[in-house]
Amino acid sequence: MANSMPVVQPISARIADRVSAQTMAIPWYIWCCLTSVVSAVVGSEWDISWHKSIGRDSFWTPAHILIQLSGVLAGIACGYLILWTTFNKRSPLRDVSVSMWGFRAPLGAFLCAWGGVAMVTSAPFDNWWHNSYGLDVKILSPPHVLLALGMTGIRFGTVVMILAEMNRAQGLYRAKLERVLFVAVAFLMGMTVGIMQEHTNRVFMHGATFYAVIMFTAPIVIAMMAWVSDNRWAATIMTAILTVVNLALVWILPLFPAQPKLGPVYQHVTHLVPPDFPLLLIVPAVVFDLLRQRTLTWGRSRQATTLGAAFLASFIAVQWPFAHFLMSPASRNAIFATTNYPYAVPPMSPWVRNVFVPTEASVGEFWVRMAIALAAAVVMTRIGIAWGEWMRRIRR
């Protein structure tokens, strides 16, 4: 009978656990990489707003400097970490490092260092591209793709670095690292979804292509976060952080004055144009967490099918009517910011006229692409589950 009684941790042990968590500081290189990520997030959104409001008047804009600061910070910090771990035989990281090209360091450090080099390399490439070909017609120009890959490398490397430390930790120190992980994964998801922003404007929200794009990008990160964390509301917390950051950008950027310096100018712009109101991904994230708690004993494929389908269905259920609202006069205020158009958008644009643009030529094509969206939601959820299970085993 005594053997069946639960073992309660003594008060002295719990106090010692709290003291240990308070005294164990999160390593400096994690804070450096997270600072690099934040610098890139703020700089890139500021830069996009700058292009929408002012135009590309100079390479040396504050936004560009902030973006490149991200690459420099990650490159120098992780470069130093690699050299220190490689040549310092007494480094405590040597036993939890990987070897690459004769160097030793945590895996995340190599990823962040590569991302920093890619970001810094993209700067002169982008400047040459603009001088040779003029302004970008598309967001995904070759130098921008290189920049995006570099930023993704730093964000993913930061996540790997935090996870390696977290998977070796216990108790309250692990919980402290997990809170930092929520922030890092939120920014990784923001990069994953944000890179497809040309296809996620509100004018496309009544087309199946919009939902397919989101299903190819969001569920994989949602599932990874849910499986890598011990928190039963991990996906919800991470998505809430991303939503709050996006809302802050929507509401803060218009507070700063700006006016176009390039032509043609079709819209009267007096302040920085903010990003669009964030997608309502928080709702399917809540649904995902609720269902995951009720399907823990299921097989992974069955689980992925249920969670992926529920993610798509709940997202359509909230985003489709919300798109109607964004097109209505009720959304034209400082909260939803649906009247903030880039200066170069023509007045007869569907965006300005608040009309939906069909992305499928027929009803049949619409349902075919919705089926693709469903398949993508299921497959990407299954990949995200496998990814999360693999990430839980990272120790180096």
pLDDT category, 115, cuts 50, 70, 90?
Answer: confident
pLDDT value of residue 13: 45
Task: Please tell me the distance from the alpha carbon of residue 124 to that of residue 128, in angstroms, as a whole number.
Answer: 6
Q: Is the pLDDT of residue 308 over 90?
A: yes
**Mean pLDDT, residues 98-119:** 85
From the list 160, 188, 182, the residue with the least C-alpha distance to 394 is: 160
Q: Which has the higher per-residue pLDDT, 135 or 316?
A: 316
Question: Which of 3-17, 168-182, 184-198, 262-276 is least confident?
Answer: 3-17
Q: How many C-beta atoms surround the C-beta of residue 256 within 10 A?
A: 11
pLDDT value of residue 208: 94
Task: Please tell me the distance from the alpha carbon of residue 299 to that of residue 295, in angstroms, as a whole number.
Answer: 9
CA torsion, points 100, 106, 107, 113, in degrees to nearest 10? Answer: -80
pLDDT in tens, 349-379: 999 999 999 999 999 999 999 999 999 999 9
Following DSSP, what letter does each residue of 38-106 receive, concatenated?
A: HHHHHHHHHHHHHHHHT----S--HHHHHHHHHHHHHHHHHHHHHHHHHH-TT-TTGGG-EEETTEEE-
pLDDT in tens, 17-36: 444 444 478 888 899 999 99
**Mean pLDDT, residues 48-74:** 83
User: CA-based diameter of the chain, in Å?
Assistant: 83
pLDDT value of residue 378: 97
pLDDT category, 235, cuts 50, 70, 90?
Answer: very high
**Mean pLDDT, residues 176-186:** 92
Q: Which sign, positive or negative, has the C-alpha torsion 334, 336, 342, 343?
A: negative
pLDDT value of residue 327: 95
Share of the chain above pLDDT 70, in %: 89
pLDDT value of residue 20: 43
Q: Does the pTM exceed 0.75? A: yes
Q: Is the pLDDT of residue 2 over 60?
A: no
pLDDT value of residue 322: 96
Mean pLDDT of the chain: 86
Best-predicted range by mean pLDDT among 6-15, 102-111, 224-233, 313-322? Answer: 313-322
**Mean pLDDT, residues 305-312:** 96
Burial of 132 (0-12, 13-18, 19+ CB in 10 A): exposed
Strand partners, 257: 271
